[in-house]
Structure 1
């Protein structure tokens, strides 16, 4: 497609917030991208007007990051209608500074959608996939451009690109027109699995389901866990530090660590959502399922009803029934004592798999067995303050008495359980709150929030103390509020024009308001958490590790959090951006998924296969070992989500260590054992805690 050993025709290359230069000796194209746009790019067109990719399997190029920071670089090829969402295929990778990656785009074709399935994010490829044009080509013989682009972050990215080449022979796709009409239904079997596909590990019948218990126990006995762990999962043969009877943090030779209750170094390699749950709505979708659990005592808990699910497009505004296939499978697999048997098996699995921490959203009956350290969960956020300059704000009224009462009530539930428990590493409070996309966003949202909110009233007190008169504020902001009461009553959002100057007096005041609100949020959470659990760690609010993070908020969090938490969905954490503070960090969520085991969506980081999924797990955790502030990372999640979409929001990701029928993915388990069993030897080699 492009051979850079020869000088390219400048008329065929267009830059959008970018620039390029041919490197004749290297045979590469040097490309600068950014810093202004969200998606800075360079477009390369074919000299013949189109490329005929025919039956090619992939388009690929070698890319070197010659900049000074990690960049997220993408490669895309388009049909004439390509726009980044449809009629195109693309890939994006994080490339650390000074490193090289091979970017390859799989050629996938658009197909007519045979059935419109709602309430689930990924759709079966057999009936047209997730959409007729989403990230697919409608005609591989008419490709009209290739793009090299960056995910914009306000910085300049510099890369060198090698030849862009189409290669391979495209494999037959799963699309099957014979599944039009009634032939497709039902498409989910009695174990919650896809009917129209087969794969290794698929459960065939009840005997098969039960028989796997014995087979797995043989494996667990052969792999009981890491030999150099103590009972907490800490480094038994490592140095002994001060023992407090609870988990704490300590910085040693420039590296942050957790220290277990016995004073041993501890890295938290964890698993989220350790539970049997895999629920999905059934109302209006009854024909999708070949079997539903009978409404009888044996399957108690498998049926439920919700009044609405705001995050699920199919059930946003109506009541519905749901069924838990994960629970139904566990009941049928483990028998009448399933609750105890499954909990005990889960604890054996975690130790055998090299996992030493139970993470967020896990079942208390499992973690309160006190065999594996855990993090407890408190949800107290709200959406009193919404919108803002980027419409990315959902935030509670943190100065209101109702918020503090709600937070206190949430912690009350942990009295006598997680609060004060030595096995509890600490508490996460909330998850991925929307603080806004920059350090003015939350302040801007408060300006247009409701006057009865205590936070809005506190903003007025802050601004009056600074400006004294409304005329002085209007002069600084270039606004026309008639009085302080008028500003309090204001529900009109600030305009893009007003916010264009990031260093204006208005912008400076919005940062003050943001700081005031964020400071109150973390200060209140810490104060109340420590009232109930003074010896456990406050692990923050699990920031979004990509979109939605800003330095101001994170630096304030570091003042109050014992550990600052982020959910970092990336291939590795090398070069991942975060605020400049000196405090320990934990990753609350990461994962990889693949579509070779009957599922329809690979989650936030899709890879080629289960084998590759295991390799990527090892690479990610090793990058966390190499990061001086990381004290842990937690995989999301223990069990796959239902193929027909989880109740909350339709997610149907293949990201579990076990599938919906409770069968472990052996490739992922094998990789996890390599990580966990060799964890402290690897950490010792990297971090040198003994100072040798």
Structure 2
């Protein structure tokens, strides 16, 4: 029986009983090949032949389901009557296989009689059949302390299991009424093969996360080129690398002491880094007066590689005994924080282990900080980099390599939630405590660096929650909207209300302009006041929101700029490392900062930026975070900007850098980050990405590093400053990489 219309098809199989509680063992409710129990099968924009089954290449008999092209083609399974009692079960189970040569994302929804729903998206891979297991309670990699889960399917006891790794919602297990499989807007018909449907007493979550890491902190179940198998391999790799670094360093082009290019145009030497525009292009200029494009790397430090082990020791196959020499790399921490970055994360405190530190000791016989710093500088220079970026070890200030520093302003000042609060709410610049905290942070940061010519400059905090630049007015004006919802003990709200009072005088004027009925001005002072969203009928709302956001952003950046001019007059203010932002913040940054900085996770740096606005502002730009990661070298997350394979990272890097060179405003690009993150999640927020130039074993990813070096050294031909009056050189096109972007994220 076929169904090609949107009318439901019902197959009632009337053998067996429903509504009987299950014992604590796997139980089949329905078999698509040999139906034995009472289940209704309903299709919507999908085709399920009534009796046809087929043999897979592995000899298994399964039944084909075709999802047609539609918004939401689906298959729904329900009891013949009543509901299922799955109280004794831990997972829904379904034998399933993709009938395509590619993975298919299947959406699963399990509903109970009280309207509660569990939902999950499952990447059904190409290949042999496996048993899909959807836990009957919410779960996620965060519940296991990490951003991304280990690869699935999981092979255990000779069987292939596909445990769902992200399940959201709630369910009354005693009254389950339906299970629905669907696809979201398939562009072409998609086919899957189905077998037994039922429940399981084991959701395989423990098995999925058990025994993940080997003694070196590498993923134990996988293999790849360069995976470390012995201490001897580590030592030989270090010796081979030392010879290569010496050769590469000897072949570097001629540079001044600070990494500026020699042989082209020159500038006035002032003894400190500065910016200058020549022709149509902006330049960073070294203290010796040579053009400098800041090629940097973030998080060049051994201090971000620990991972929590307490409470999840079963993940690690070979942690050292407490009395063993490598036990010195255990420590204690507490990263509990009320931020979106930590929401729902477990295992964020207690005992941790530093696999990277242990691997350094295995390789070099100890952990000498000065040896490590010198080796990192040698690597960066040989690879064509010239800047130590944000979040790096403080010891680089004495290593004779240009570096940057963050101004991390912390205090008890008020904050405003905007909905973009990955690292917390926006600091309230109208709060006197913010000005004091900024003064304190800047004084401390500048104390030992005031006259250091190797310091390029300071960043004004990181990825603050300014809002979203787009068509959604609630995102675009999230800062103004969020401020009006607060109480009047928040200084920013008092500042906003004063602006409105000065303009409208009373509630009648405001009501008319905003199209609302405000009976008393004091009602705006109440917590939770719901301001209207900007709309075409009442343009004054948008004007007032925008005016406040300008006031807010200018107060913020002016506070920092004024303090920095006093404490560090010789160094640049490098902007706010924008992620989510609004034009008012960018414009204020341009007014008070020497450089505007953005963290960009896109195939090309210009994507997602308002380049028309930036060109009108005509200020130098720095791309202070970008990366391209993959999932085929151990860590489970491919980063914010993911490519398919390790081999694609190099071309993606070269393409990004080439596009940066084409833009006359851009004066630097900083890669995030030096090291891969721990596969079981870093301490801060559980991120566990393969993003690094270097593995957790301290072995560089050689193919990627070679591509990076080639791209870095080629940049001088594009960026080198012309003499006055000469046209600037043009960039050469390179082929685009195979990249697939992923939204969301955030860095320390």
User: Which interval holds the TM-score relative to the shorter structure?
Assistant: 0.7 to 0.9
> How far apart, CA to CA, are the structure 2 residues paired with 1:540 and 1:54?
49
> How far apart, CA to CA, are the structure 2 residues paired with 1:644 and 1:298?
19
Would the alpha carbon gap of residues 482 and 317 (structure 1) be closer, same or farther in structure 2, given more than 3 Å must change? farther
* Contact 1:80 1:144 survives alignment (8 Å): no
> How far apart, CA to CA, are the structure 1 residues paired with 2:306 and 2:594?
34
> How far apart, CA to CA, are the structure 2 residues paired with 1:672 and 1:689?
32
2:451 corresponds to 1:420: yes
* Contact 2:357 2:367 survives alignment (8 Å): no
After the TM superposition, which residues 247-258 of structure 1 pair with which residues of structure 2 at under 5 Å, given as runs?
247-258=273-284
> How far apart, CA to CA, are the structure 1 residues paired with 2:208 and 2:501?
69
Would the alpha carbon gap of residues 592 and 677 (structure 1) be closer, same or farther in structure 2, given more than 3 Å must change? same
Task: Select which of 299, 305, 310 maps to 1:283.
Answer: 310
For residues 317-371 of structure 1, the C-alpha deviation after alignment (integer angstroms, 9 at most, x for no partner) is 9753323322332233333352111111101000011111111100011x21232
2:440 corresponds to 1:409: yes
| Other structure's SS at 2:342 match | coil
Would the alpha carbon gap of residues 410 and 466 (structure 1) be closer, same or farther in structure 2, given more than 3 Å must change? same
* Contact 1:394 1:435 survives alignment (8 Å): no
Partner of 1:451: 488
Would the alpha carbon gap of residues 329 and 412 (structure 1) be closer, same or farther in structure 2, given more than 3 Å must change? farther
Would the alpha carbon gap of residues 212 and 45 (structure 1) be closer, same or farther in structure 2, given more than 3 Å must change? same
| Other structure's SS at 1:641 match | coil
Partner of 2:186: 146
| Paired positions, count | 586
Partner of 2:593: 561
* Contact 1:398 1:521 survives alignment (8 Å): yes
Partner of 2:270: 244
Task: Select which of 329, 353, 358 maps to 2:359.
Answer: 329
> How far apart, CA to CA, are the structure 1 residues paired with 2:182 and 2:557?
54
User: Could you state the TM-score of these two structures normalised by the residue count of structure 1?
Assistant: 0.75
For residues 585-640 of structure 1, the C-alpha deviation after alignment (integer angstroms, 9 at most, x for no partner) is 10111001112212211101111222210111011011000012110111000001
Partner of 1:531: 566
2:232 corresponds to 1:207: yes
> How far apart, CA to CA, are the structure 2 residues paired with 1:507 and 1:315?
37
* Contact 2:272 2:286 survives alignment (8 Å): yes
After the TM superposition, which residues 216-227 of structure 1 pair with which residues of structure 2 at under 5 Å, given as runs?
216-224=241-249, 226-227=252-253
| Other structure's SS at 1:566 match | strand
2:532 corresponds to 1:511: no
Range that drifts further, 476-485 or 326-335: 476-485
> How far apart, CA to CA, are the structure 2 residues paired with 1:133 and 1:278?
25
> How far apart, CA to CA, are the structure 1 residues paired with 2:163 and 2:548?
42
* Contact 1:427 1:539 survives alignment (8 Å): yes
Would the alpha carbon gap of residues 302 and 391 (structure 1) be closer, same or farther in structure 2, given more than 3 Å must change? closer
RMSD: 4.0
> How far apart, CA to CA, are the structure 2 residues paired with 1:357 and 1:307?
29
> How far apart, CA to CA, are the structure 2 residues paired with 1:618 and 1:686?
23
Partner of 2:331: 303
Partner of 2:296: 270
Partner of 1:112: 133
* Contact 1:540 1:565 survives alignment (8 Å): yes
* Contact 2:149 2:165 survives alignment (8 Å): no
Partner of 2:465: 434
* Contact 1:640 1:658 survives alignment (8 Å): yes
> How far apart, CA to CA, are the structure 1 residues paired with 2:263 and 2:537?
53
Partner of 2:158: none
Partner of 1:597: 633
> How far apart, CA to CA, are the structure 1 residues paired with 2:318 and 2:447?
41
Would the alpha carbon gap of residues 289 and 78 (structure 1) be closer, same or farther in structure 2, given more than 3 Å must change? closer
Would the alpha carbon gap of residues 348 and 464 (structure 1) be closer, same or farther in structure 2, given more than 3 Å must change? same
Range that drifts further, 312-321 or 301-310: 312-321
* Contact 1:566 1:588 survives alignment (8 Å): yes
- Displacement of 1:295: 6.0
Would the alpha carbon gap of residues 318 and 209 (structure 1) be closer, same or farther in structure 2, given more than 3 Å must change? closer
Would the alpha carbon gap of residues 301 and 494 (structure 1) be closer, same or farther in structure 2, given more than 3 Å must change? farther
| Other structure's SS at 1:555 match | helix
> How far apart, CA to CA, are the structure 1 residues paired with 2:274 and 2:618?
16
* Contact 1:280 1:642 survives alignment (8 Å): yes
Would the alpha carbon gap of residues 386 and 183 (structure 1) be closer, same or farther in structure 2, given more than 3 Å must change? closer
* Contact 1:247 1:536 survives alignment (8 Å): yes
* Contact 2:309 2:352 survives alignment (8 Å): yes
Would the alpha carbon gap of residues 600 and 452 (structure 1) be closer, same or farther in structure 2, given more than 3 Å must change? same
| Other structure's SS at 1:321 match | strand
Note the residue ranges of structure 1 that are not aligned, 5 or more in a row.
1-10, 12-42, 60-75, 91-104, 135-140, 148-163, 168-176
> How far apart, CA to CA, are the structure 2 residues paired with 1:244 and 1:305?
44
- Displacement of 1:515: 1.2
Computing the radius of gyration from Cα coordinates, the structure with the larger value is 2
| Other structure's SS at 1:606 match | strand
2:383 corresponds to 1:353: yes
- Displacement of 1:684: 4.4
2:108 corresponds to 1:57: no
Would the alpha carbon gap of residues 78 and 291 (structure 1) be closer, same or farther in structure 2, given more than 3 Å must change? closer
Would the alpha carbon gap of residues 507 and 165 (structure 1) be closer, same or farther in structure 2, given more than 3 Å must change? same
Would the alpha carbon gap of residues 257 and 302 (structure 1) be closer, same or farther in structure 2, given more than 3 Å must change? farther
- Displacement of 1:300: 5.3
Partner of 2:603: 571
- Displacement of 1:245: 0.8
Partner of 1:234: 260
Partner of 1:584: 620
2:696 corresponds to 1:660: yes
| Other structure's SS at 1:146 match | coil
